[in-house]
């Protein structure tokens, strides 16, 4: 398995934002843990991605949103001398009945327009996010060059980022960019399987009206967990995309038998869709699964028999999460060689 590593990911590091002084959830250390585990097991070569052109990002994200991300830090620091020492976070948002078609002249207004929550922008956010997108696009391209599997080892994560908004610690939707690259490179149908413990809300929104990408997410029930407002089972797509989105929300206490049954439902749906490749969003482990279960997850994905690009999502810097992530990759590799 060829791994594309984002060497610049640590340029995005949010400051402590909680009153009790705890650090923000999504931190650079989590990628280091995965990298160490990959190297310890020797699961293939780890390389630096080639830079993708901005037009590749525009295939998924709106030009005005990308312009905002690229210029956000300079605009933030120009507002006040002390802002260079602070992260930029939204404090107001357009909700029901408010307009989103007119971009405010105020940076504070723009930050709210392009945010779904108080996800922090820092001095290095754009470079880290762009290099992460490079990893995902390179991972997809590696499949078109004949690779059986690839892995985008990167942060910040992406699956909560929409076409024109950031949130949940995400800025550019790496899984969506990988899927779109595969389509632009000649494929007709691609599936995205999101097995992070939170719903892939941004990914769903990007492809919700399309039939060339099947999106499936196994996640904690949004009635109790972030992102709260998407991820219900009755969200199946709209227009041309009707029937091409599948959500499998689960209780946090879900154990292996029920979780793996949901994965089997997802795999059967993928089989019926008959994609030519699959993108898998990996992330945090929030259910009652153990290390061996993640090996089985990787094996089941391998049995789909499809070129597969894995993309790192999630946020918790926990050794267990790193081990489980690499277990999926090892399970895939082991089954793929049988």
The number of beta carbons lying within 10 Å of the beta carbon of residue 109 is 15
| Listed residue (97, 27, 101) closest to 314, CA to CA | 27
Give which of 311, 236, 299 is closest to 34, Cα–Cα.
Answer: 311
Length, in residues, of the chain: 338
Is the separation of the CB atoms in 203 and 231 below 8 Å?
no
Q: List residues bridging with 328 in a β-sheet.
A: none
DSSP code, position 25: S
The two structure tokens encoding residue 203:
């990914």
Q: Is 160 an annotated catalytic residue? A: yes
Q: How far apart are CA 293 and CA 97, in angstroms?
A: 45
Cα separation of 130 and 149, whole Å? 22
Distance CA(323)–CA(73), nearest Å, equals 34
Identified catalytic residue from 160, 181, 198, 219: 160
The beta strand positions in 102-212, using DSSP E, are: 149-153, 190-194
The closest of 215, 133, 147 to 178, measured between CA atoms, is 133
Q: φ, ψ for residue 179 (rounded to 5)?
A: -65, -45
259 vs 270: CA distance, rounded Å: 17
Strands (E) in 78-209, as ranges, are 149-153, 190-194
Provide the annotated active-site residues: 160
């Amino acid at each position: 398995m060829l791994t594309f590593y984002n060497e610049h990911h640590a340029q995005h590091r949010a400051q402590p934002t909680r009153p009790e002084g705890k650090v923000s959830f999504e931190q650079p250390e989590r990628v280091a843990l995965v990298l160490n585990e990959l190297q310890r097991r020797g699961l293939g070569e780890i390389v630096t991605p080639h830079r993708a052109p901005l037009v590749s990002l525009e295939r998924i994200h709106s030009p005005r949103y990308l312009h905002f991300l690229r210029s956000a830090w300079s605009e933030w620091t120009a507002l006040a001398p002390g802002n260079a020492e602070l992260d930029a976070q939204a404090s107001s948002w357009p909700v029901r009945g408010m307009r989103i078609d007119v971009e405010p002249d105020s940076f504070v207004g723009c930050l709210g327009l392009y945010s779904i929550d108080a996800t922090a922008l820092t001095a290095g956010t754009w470079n880290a996010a762009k290099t992460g997108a490079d990893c995902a696009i390179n991972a997809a391209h590696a499949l078109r060059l004949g690779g059986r599997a690839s892995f985008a080892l990167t942060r910040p994560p992406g699956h909560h980022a929409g076409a024109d908004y950031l949130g949940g610690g995400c800025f550019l939707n790496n899984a969506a960019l990988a899927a779109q690259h595969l389509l632009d490179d000649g494929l007709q149908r691609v599936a995205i399987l999101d097995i992070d413990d939170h719903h892939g809300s941004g990914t769903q929104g990007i492809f919700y009206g399309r039939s060339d990408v099947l999106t499936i997410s196994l996640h904690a029930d949004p009635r109790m967990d972030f992102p709260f407002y998407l991820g219900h089972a009755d969200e199946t797509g709209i227009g041309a995309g009707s029937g091409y989105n599948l959500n499998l929300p689960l209780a946090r206490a879900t154990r292996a038998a029920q979780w793996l049954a949901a994965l089997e439902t997802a795999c059967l749906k993928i089989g019926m869709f008959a994609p030519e490749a699959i993108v898998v969003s990996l992330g945090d482990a929030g259910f009652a699964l153990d290390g061996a279960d993640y090996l089985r997850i990787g094996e089941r994905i391998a049995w789909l028999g499809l070129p597969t690009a894995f993309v790192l999502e999630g946020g918790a810097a926990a050794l267990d999460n790193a081990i489980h992530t690499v277990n999926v990759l090892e399970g895939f590799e082991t089954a793929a060689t049988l």
